Structure 1
């Protein structure tokens, strides 16, 4: 994972974090941005350190996912990637106040989301608002889920590093 961007100014004291995957430069965005006491995490997906998708869905002849059995594996990897980004700011999923799951199949997501979310957050009742939205397409055809996060830090955690 690439270091935080040191280009922050007093007027724009953003700290940014990147994974170093190809689509960051191709699309032009940061994986996460900290501004004051808030961290905004861009849509995360299931990829490894090199940017290869983890548990990609098989595609049908039209290039759409043929089945959704990889939803759980993709969801686990997505939460793991978000955790890595939050750790770069010295925090964890405990600071997440809201998440939005974008999924290609709502039923497949509901079937595994409770279990995976509880494990990711380490509690039977995660303390964050959660939205689950069905969409027709995500960035990569083999991708079944993408999750965005907003985390809020305590006053001590929010101090610039």
Structure 2
């Protein structure tokens, strides 16, 4: 008997253009695609970029991180889950120093505790899907 799979999306253009869903539940596991700082089709706290598309200021890292967790929580709720169900996360960041400075406070706030009970990895990358993005967070939750 085939396992029932549930998928969820936000309905933003880049899902259709790239060809993916935001989350997939298979069995008791929910895999979230990398969450970025957007509210509908609009980026939240976009980083300023120069004419070549290079980020000129990383000051919006914490604000973008907060929106990533907010979007993740929205998706998880569709599966009857919360951030408390997250067991693993990967943070892809454009500036590791700015992300490291923001991550402790933002993660503790998002998970609602001083010691988030989640495996976590941070990876630096030269750029994300849109030049104005500073953070993308991929999560796995167990129900």
Query: Under TM normalisation by the shorter chain, which class is it?
Result: over 0.9
Q: Tell me the TM-score normalised to structure 1 length.
A: 0.87
Whether the aligned pair in 1 keeps the contact of 2:47 and 2:60 (CA below 8 Å) is yes
| Partner-residue secondary structure (3-state), 2:131 | coil
Given candidates 5, 9, 19, the residue that maps to 1:28 is: 19
Inter-partner Cα distance in structure 2 for 1:63 and 1:135? 15
Structure 1 unaligned regions, length at least 5: 1-9, 154-161
The offset of 1:11, in angstroms, is: 2.0
Whether the aligned pair in 1 keeps the contact of 2:3 and 2:27 (CA below 8 Å) is no
Match of 1:139 in 2: 129
The offset of 1:94, in angstroms, is: 0.3
Residue deviations 1:81-103 (CA, integer Å, cap 9, x gap): 00000000011000000000000
Would you say 1:38 and 2:29 are equivalent positions? yes
Task: Compare relative contact order (CA 8 Å, sep 6+) and give the higher one, 1 or 2.
Answer: 2
Whether the aligned pair in 1 keeps the contact of 2:61 and 2:98 (CA below 8 Å) is yes
Q: CA RMSD, aligned part only?
A: 0.8
Match of 1:59 in 2: 49
Of structures 1 and 2, the larger Rg is shown by: 1
Query: Runs ≥4 in structure 1, deviation > 6 angstroms?
Result: none
Compare the two structures and name the one with the higher strand fraction: 2
